[in-house]
Structure 1
Amino acid sequence: MDVILAGVIFAVSYIFIMTEKINRAVVAMAGGTLLLLTGIYSVNDVFTSYIDWNTIALLFSMMVLISITEKTGLFSFIAVRFAQQVRGSPVPLLMGVSILTAIGSALLDNVTTVLILAPIVLKITKQLGLPAFPYLLVVIFSSNIGGAATLIGDPPNIMIGQAVDHLTFLSFLNHMAPVALIMFMVMLVVVLPLFRRSLRTGNGNTEELMKADASAYLVRSPMLYQSIAVLIMTLAGFLLQPFLHIDLTVIALSGAVLLLLLTEKELAVEHVFSQVEWVTLFFFIGLFALVGGLESAGIIDELARAIILWTDGDFAATALLILWVSGLFSGVVDNIPFVAAMIPVVEEFEGYGMVYLDPIWWSLALGACLGGNATLVGASANVVVAGLAEGADQKISFIRFMLYGIPFVVLSLAVATVYIYIRYLVPYIS
């Protein structure tokens, strides 16, 4: 009975999350509450065993750091200054937007990056009389590709990094950044010819852009320099984490608390906390509770067993199956709930004789991040960009985006297959 109840509650919750008729955080929390009411698990179990508080704390810390830094105008200054450097020329501007988004998504996180850059892109394209769609498309593609490169770039990576202790910030850089760079180059090669005609010089006012004072965006106060210093220290801490032997969450939390202390007189803590994406955090909490219900009912064990039976326990086949399944599913639904459901599945593989799981973890991370480019609901960053575009009267058609997204994801997964096979599976097989 528990299996049926947990499965139905999870499936119904998932459908409501996909349709976005009701706020997804409310849906996830409601699903978790139903699991408690039906006795699938106890309050103690959900709070001590199933909710990953390390992931919640890491996300919260990064939100605080970015929220304070954003108030200094640093990110807007960088974007406007770059647009001026390329003198509003359409193709260099497109490439520049792609590069800024990819780097920002790798070093900050992709949702924060698109929240900062998308409004600026909309403003610049309008000013230059350029079509917004090509630029918004590369913002979405670049955010998911760049986010794949580091542990903190995309929520699925954060979740995997917290679930597997030895997958550090440097591990993600070493294993994910190379293929992310390859995919970024592939994206530019594919996108530029597609929009060659529409990327001609616009009919807007380039002179107005060139005359704009980018430094006017900067709030020149101690908070600007404090934010830059603490951000650099935090990122350095991530890189040095294997040598410092300090938990990643502790490093991020230390950076957030230090910046709150340094800027408390300039920026009220209450204001900073009001800018934290609480909906996202509570969505994660509800999501962990939902997946915990599947684990408690034994559904996760059965799913792991089914995958092993499907691939007959073959290591290479299992890794590639995870890559394609995660890529295709993440295109249809948000990659966050999918990865939350798959983490315990992969962990179960160890019980079936698979001792070396790293290639499977990289397959899951790559599939989830790259697959998010297929549709507008494939990743949180996509939804954010679509909402900002609609608010600026530049609505992105779901179908139009999908016509570009699905072929690109298939190409991305093909490239990732070659990468996974050559780097991990050939040495393992031989």
Structure 2
Amino acid sequence: MYEAMILLLKEDALMDVLLATVIFIISYVFIMTEKYNRAVIAMSGGILLLISGIYSLHDMFQTYIDWNTIALLFSMMVLISITERTGLFSFMAIRFAQKVRGSPVPLLIGVGMLTAFGSALLDNVTTVLIFVPIILKITKELQLPSFPYLLMIIFSSNIGGTATLIGDPPNIMIGQAVDHLTFLSFVNHLAPVAGIIFVAMVFMLYMLFRKSLNTGKANVRKLLELDASEYLVKSPMLYQSITVLSMTLLGFLLHSFLHINLTIVAISGAVLLLLLTEKELETEQIFKQVEWVTLFFFIGLFALVGGLREVGIIDELARLIVLFTDGDFSKTALLILWVSGLFSGVVDNIPFVAAMIPVIQEFETYGLVYLDPIWWSLALGACLGGNATLVGASANIVVAGLAEGEGEKISFIRFMLYGIPFVIFSLVISTVYILVRYLIPYMSGGV
């Protein structure tokens, strides 16, 4: 009787694994084909997981949907929407384009550098929320294709976010789990390789799109003749928006020192600006401009990945890495780099990193005391792997949502054709870096 119950439980567990996997794969296929709204598909997958009993409604809302991320995105969308009404972004876009004299290639490189730098100091989602509206205005003014510039922003945001502790959620999670890995540690160990990959990426995009990056002299002349200050709406809302947005960005920079959560900083800024501008701008008008499709797509995506977590697929993947390498230090570091890189292109990297952290910490019980290269491998793979597909990183989804709102839809397949080769290229560079800086010295007794 007891053995029959155990067998039945195993069969039920296997059925849950199969069901969660099928729902996840089918949902992703529909998202990739783009025949239906991606938010509806992702949420439909979550509903099917609920109906099939993979997890409960309580688990879905309390455990798997990351409301901190949703609230952060919503708050930044509110801040950006209000600030956009003041003409500040149009002013910045025109002045920036005038500084490079409307030249498409310097514009492409400049956007990449600003995005990477911003993503290193802020979180990459906030950075793209600021830069995407600006670059869309510039490309429309110069009649340039927006796709190369949006691709540059996505790639740069994920590369820049790799370089620091606060740039990308996986780095924040690793930094919180390992006490001796400070902000300066991340800069020292990850910024060099991120810089190398960034330079290679800029050259790659230039070679791919140089023939399409052309604009007429009439467009440039028209741009240079514009008075950027005319686009500014010089009202109290302008100064309120600049002040609150600057305070919010400063809060992001200092949040680790102030011990205040990033989401709290963003919500505080959004609510404060709504209060200050209520007389000039109705809250209902701002809420209409929020990218609700993007927010609900995130909710559905968290629910889909939650199904994989619930049935133990992600945890099992982490255990298989350890079994496959047989505890070998070098093999483990490189395998984690590649598995996390390839896996993060398919699902959000946050749950994978959450599953891997306790596994890596367990390595100490097997006598491995020098775990830093393994932590850097995990960080590099998880952050860089997000460039593979539109759902690989939060910033990618936000850029796609903002672009679609302006009539510049990014095709899932088209992005993937550029993203996957670039991720493989990035992981090859990271492999060489990990080998030369850590593993070869370790194996030769230099560490």
The one-letter code of the counterpart of 2:199 is: M
* Matched residue SS, 2:101: coil
TM-fit CA distance, 1:349: 1.3
Q: What CA distance in whole angstroms lies between the structure 2 residues aligned with 1:162 and 1:62?
A: 21
1:96 — aligned with what?
110
Matching of residue 250 in structure 1 with residue 292 in structure 2: no
Q: Which residue of 2 aligns with 1:292?
A: 306
265, 289, 298: which one pairs with 2:279? 265
Residue 282 in structure 1 maps to residue 299 in structure 2 = no
Q: CA deviation at 1:406?
A: 4.7
Match of 2:91?
A: 77
Indicate whether 1:380 and 2:394 are aligned: no
**Is the deviation greater in 107-116 or in 279-288?**
107-116
Give matches, 1:22-421, under 5 Å. Answer: 22-103=36-117, 107=122, 109=125, 111-113=128-130, 115-126=132-143, 135=149, 137-149=151-163, 157-158=168-169, 161=172, 165=176, 170=183, 177-192=191-206, 202-330=216-344, 333=346, 337-350=347-360, 352-353=362-363, 363-374=377-388, 379-380=396-397, 383=400, 387=404, 391=407, 405-421=419-435
Please give the secondary structure, in 1, of the residue aligned with 2:287.
helix
Give, in whole Å, the separation in 2 of the partners of 1:83 and 1:67: 22
Distance (Å, rounded) in 1 between the aligned partners of 2:44 and 2:412: 30
Query: Is the contact between residue 294 and residue 398 of structure 2 (CA under 8 Å) also seen in structure 1?
Result: no
User: Structure 1 residue 44: deviation in Å?
Assistant: 2.2
TM score, norm. by length of structure 1: 0.80
The one-letter code of the counterpart of 2:355 is: V
Cα RMSD between the aligned structures?
A: 3.8
Q: Which runs of 5+ in 1 are unaligned?
A: none
| SS, match of residue 41 in structure 1 | coil
SS in 2 for 1:353: helix
Q: Which moved more, 1:101-110 or 1:257-266?
A: 101-110
- Post-superposition Cα deviations, 1:153-201, rounded to whole Å, max 9, x if no partner, equal 6xxx347646974589957667655543333223334444566666677
CA distance in 1, matches of 2:405, 2:162: 23
1:69 counterpart letter in structure 2: T
* 1:82 to partner: Cα distance: 1.6
The answer as to whether partners of 2:42 and 2:297 remain within 8 angstroms in 1 is yes
**C-alpha contact (below 8 Å) 1:143/1:381 kept by paired residues:** no
Instruction: Please say if residues 322 and 360 of structure 1, whose CA atoms lie closer than 8 Å, have aligned partners that are also in contact.
Output: yes
Quote the offset at 1:229 in angstroms: 1.7
Structure 1 position 25, deviation (Å) = 2.1
Q: Which residue number corresponds to residue 26 of structure 2?
A: 12
The CA deviation string for residues 322-381 of structure 1, in whole angstroms up to 9 with x for no partner, is 3323434555x4xxx342552343145157436887765654554354344456776326
Distance 2:158 2:265 in 1: 24
Identical columns (%): 63
What stretches of structure 2 of length at least 5 have no aligned partner? 1-11
Given that 1:169 and 1:238 are in contact with CA atoms closer than 8 Å, whether structure 2 keeps it comes out as no
In our comparison, the structure showing a higher alpha carbon Rg is 2
8 Å Cα contact 1:140-1:385 kept in structure 2: no
Query: Equivalent residue of 1:31, what SS?
Result: helix
The CA deviation string for residues 36-61 of structure 1, in whole angstroms up to 9 with x for no partner, is: 22222222222222222222222222
210-219 or 277-286, which deviates more: 277-286
> What is the count of residue pairs matched by the alignment?
417
How far apart, in 2, do the equivalents of 1:397 and 1:277 lie? 18
Residue 415 (structure 1) shift: 2.6
Pick closer, same or farther for the CA change 1:151–1:227 going to 2, 3 Å: farther
| TM-score, length of structure 2 as denominator length | 0.77
Question: Do the aligned residues in 1 keep the contact of 2:80 with 2:130 (CA within 8 Å)?
Answer: no
Please say if residues 54 and 310 of structure 2, whose CA atoms lie closer than 8 Å, have aligned partners that are also in contact: yes
Q: What letter matches 2:352 in structure 1?
A: M
